[in-house]
């Protein structure tokens, strides 16, 4: 590793640790956090001027770059440990990273009590953010912490793998795999030796040659693949209808066996092959009926349960091959994949399946919309996520009823999906959601309505000026003030200043929290309209108000302060 390269990266790693720690300890407007974030942004900006990307491998107590340990144990061990325990193995920052995106990244590490229920792990939050210039590698529980050094992937670097608990290539018990392969080989050879040539529709000479090839085969897994391909070749040449059906039944059985092994890539090949042959057969014919049944066996109840078990257990071949299987699955059978999405227990498996279904369904919601009527709210929520990412406006009628769903997370995701599909139509629903019965939906609606600019101001002000608004949770009050600032800029300053400068006669502590929230929002308005008032509020008798005013002053640009002076 070039010492100059390492010297340019170390400050970024240290700044990353400090900024994450500050994010966990201080509010986003606290001067300590703002200084830590500014240092982090500056360090990354400097490093990315000479590099297109900076990739940190996450160890149990530190970060690595290019196989080199970057920091001593006392620097950031707690942060590295949290990332490592949550399954993060690499974080990469790419050229083009903005301060807004780094702010969203650091917000991932806010205290867990402020996160939505059901979104506790860091990997899920990173996944939902969809960063443009930040990527990560997450291995969750796929790896064996007791792995030996020889099984460590070379791309991670063996010299420092003692600090990383992973074994990406653990495929199961090799002895069991070899035993299963040997048993299947013996059965095939015995069948051919017994002269069961009718089963394969081959001549005696062909049987002899095939037997020699099988006995010479030393790799059971390859043998099974080759055997499947031999059967397919025979099937394509078979003219006898009864033998054709028999061969199809054998291939169907082989496919189900592969599902049990978790070898979904092989299943995908077999399924796509059967589908191609199926398309060439006359509907209603004996051959077509046999192929229909074989294709359906890939996703029957037994197969679906086996796939679910493989994915929930983190079997590498299944996790790796599920994408190929979805691509090979006919549209008519894709419903089973959505049912699987509702049945999976493992969060990482659900995330992967969501991503793959977005890719599989392309730009059409036709295959997805029926599943928005499922009784399981968690499945509906994930399907809404897929609908929003696909962007097919024809799904809007199916989304609308879910805006009044009894589950808060469904209503919120329906708002988000509608906002992505039809922003003009979603605006009125966002306004209605400002008075939703659930606080997280109200906060979500306020933040998204703010993107409409000045048109959102009267609707936000109406809520803020309601008689019971100041009795709400302080986080919600702050979220509405910030939404007003984001929507109106300078237009929001008078409203926020009236709140920030309001005299307190009763409930001093509560009123001071509200004033501080208004001061923090003023820092988001930009410009110099509130500068002098913030300077005055920075001398307020209440510490929280002073700190909030100082934080907002720090956010205003130097040019704004000069103009105000």
pLDDT tens by residue, 336-349: 999 999 899 988 88
Are residue 380 and residue 447 in the same domain, yes or no? no
State yes or no: pLDDT of 103 exceeds 60: yes
Are residue 280 and residue 335 in the same domain, yes or no? yes
What would the pLDDT profile of 472-497 be if each residue is shown by its tens digit? 988 899 999 999 999 987 888 889 88
Q: Please check whether residue 420 lies inside any domain of the structure.
A: no
How far lies 307's CA from each of 221, 302, 461, 531, in Å? 19, 9, 52, 61
Instruction: Indicate the number of domains in the chain.
Output: 3
The residue from 163, 192, 207 where one domain ends is 163
The reported pLDDT for the residue numbered 24 is 81
CB 421 within 8 A of CB 393: yes
Are residue 82 and residue 144 in the same domain, yes or no? yes
Are residue 17 and residue 44 in the same domain, yes or no? yes
The residue from 408, 429, 460 where one domain ends is 408
Consecutive H or E run containing 134? strand 134-138
Are residue 378 and residue 311 in the same domain, yes or no? yes
Are residue 326 and residue 445 in the same domain, yes or no? no
What would the pLDDT profile of 199-231 be if each residue is shown by its tens digit? 455 566 665 666 565 555 444 555 566 678 888
Q: Please check whether residue 308 lies inside any domain of the structure.
A: yes
Are residue 192 and residue 262 in the same domain, yes or no? yes
Three-state DSSP class for 229?
A: helix
Are residue 116 and residue 228 in the same domain, yes or no? no
How far lies 421's CA from each of 363, 399, 427, in Å? 12, 10, 12
Q: Please check whether residue 425 lies inside any domain of the structure.
A: no
Q: Please check whether residue 416 lies inside any domain of the structure.
A: no
Check: pTM over 0.85? Answer yes or no: no
- What is the Cα–Cα distance from 104 to 114, expressed in whole angstroms? 14
Task: Please give the backbone phi and psi of residue 59, each rounded to the nearest 5 degrees, phi first.
Answer: -95, -175
The residue from 163, 186, 202 where one domain ends is 163
Are residue 182 and residue 130 in the same domain, yes or no? no
Q: How many helices (H) and strands (E) does the chain have?
A: 28, 5
The reported pLDDT for the residue numbered 161 is 41
CB 59 within 8 A of CB 163: yes
pLDDT tier, 377 (very low <50, low <70, confident <90, very high otherwise): very high
**Domain extent at residue 145:** 3-163
Are residue 149 and residue 224 in the same domain, yes or no? no
Length of the chain: 565
Q: Please check whether residue 424 lies inside any domain of the structure.
A: no
| Beta pairing, strands 53-58 & 88-94 | antiparallel
Are residue 158 and residue 246 in the same domain, yes or no? no
Are residue 381 and residue 264 in the same domain, yes or no? yes
Average pLDDT of the residues in 140-162: 41
Average pLDDT of the residues in 110-124: 58
Three-state DSSP class for 262?
A: coil
Q: Please check whether residue 432 lies inside any domain of the structure.
A: no
- What is the Cα–Cα distance from 225 to 413, expressed in whole angstroms? 43
Higher pLDDT, 158 or 71: 71
Q: Please check whether residue 13 lies inside any domain of the structure.
A: yes
User: What order do you get walking across the sheet with 68-69 strand by strand?
Assistant: 68-69, 63-65, 53-58, 88-94, 134-138
């Amino acid at each position: 590793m070039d010492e100059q390269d390492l010297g340019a990266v170390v400050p970024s790693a240290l700044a990353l640790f400090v900024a994450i720690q500050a994010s966990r300890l201080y509010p986003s407007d606290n001067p300590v956090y703002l200084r830590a974030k500014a240092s982090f942004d500056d360090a990354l900006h400097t490093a990315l001027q000479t590099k297109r990307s900076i990739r940190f491998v996450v160890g149990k107590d530190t970060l690595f770059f290019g196989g080199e340990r970057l920091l001593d144990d006392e620097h950031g061990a707690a942060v590295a440990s949290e990332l490592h325990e949550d399954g993060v193995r690499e974080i990469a920052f790419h050229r083009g990273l903005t301060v807004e995106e780094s702010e969203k990244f650091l917000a991932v590490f806010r205290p867990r009590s402020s996160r939505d229920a059901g979104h506790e792990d860091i990997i899920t939050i990173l996944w939902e953010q969809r960063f443009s210039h930040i990527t990560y590698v997450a291995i969750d529980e796929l790896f064996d912490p007791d792995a030996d050094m020889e099984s460590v992937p070379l791309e991670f670097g063996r010299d420092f793998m003692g600090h990383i608990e992973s074994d990406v290539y653990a495929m199961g018990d090799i002895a069991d795999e070899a035993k299963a392969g040997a048993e299947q080989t013996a059965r095939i050879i015995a069948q051919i030796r017994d002269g069961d040539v009718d089963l394969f529709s081959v001549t005696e000479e062909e049987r002899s040659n095939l037997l020699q090839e099988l006995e010479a085969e030393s790799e059971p897994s390859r043998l099974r693949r080759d055997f499947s391909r031999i059967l397919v070749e025979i099937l394509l040449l078979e003219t006898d209808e009864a033998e054709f059906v028999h061969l199809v039944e054998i291939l169907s059985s082989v496919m189900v066996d592969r599902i049990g092994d978790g070898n979904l890539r092989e299943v995908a090949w077999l399924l796509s092959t059967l589908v191609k042959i199926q398309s060439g057969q006359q509907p209603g014919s004996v051959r077509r009926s046999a192929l229909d049944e074989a294709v359906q066996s890939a996703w029957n109840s037994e197969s679906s349960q086996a796939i679910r078990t493989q994915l929930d257990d983190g079997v590498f071949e299944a996790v790796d091959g599920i994408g190929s299987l979805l691509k090979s699955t006919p549209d008519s059978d894709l419903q089973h994949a959505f049912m699987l999405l509702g049945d999976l227990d493992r969060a990482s498996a659900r995330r992967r399946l969501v991503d793959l279904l977005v890719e599989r369904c392309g730009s059409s919601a036709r295959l997805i919309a029926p599943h928005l009527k499922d009784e399981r709210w968690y499945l509906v929520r994930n399907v809404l996520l897929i609908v929003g990412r696909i962007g097919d406006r024809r799904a809007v009628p199916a989304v609308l009823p879910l805006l009044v769903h009894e589950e808060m997370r469904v209503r919120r995701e329906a708002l988000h999906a509608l906002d992505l599909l039809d922003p003009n139509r979603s605006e009125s629903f966002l306004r209605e959601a400002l008075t939703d019965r659930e606080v997280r939906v109200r906060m979500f609606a306020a933040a998204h309505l703010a993107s409409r600019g000045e048109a959102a101001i009267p609707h936000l002000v109406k809520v803020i000026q309601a008689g019971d608004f100041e009795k709400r949770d302080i986080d919600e009050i702050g979220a509405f003030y910030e939404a007003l600032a984001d929507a109106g800029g300078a237009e929001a300053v008078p409203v926020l200043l009236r709140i920030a400068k309001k005299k307190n006669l009763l409930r001093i502590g509560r009123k001071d929290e509200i004033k501080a929230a208004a001061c923090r929002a003023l820092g988001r308005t930009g410009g110099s309209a509130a500068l002098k008032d913030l300077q005055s509020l920075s001398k307020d008798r209440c510490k929280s108000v002073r700190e909030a005013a100082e934080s907002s002053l720090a956010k205003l640009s130097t040019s704004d302060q000069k103009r105000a002076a």
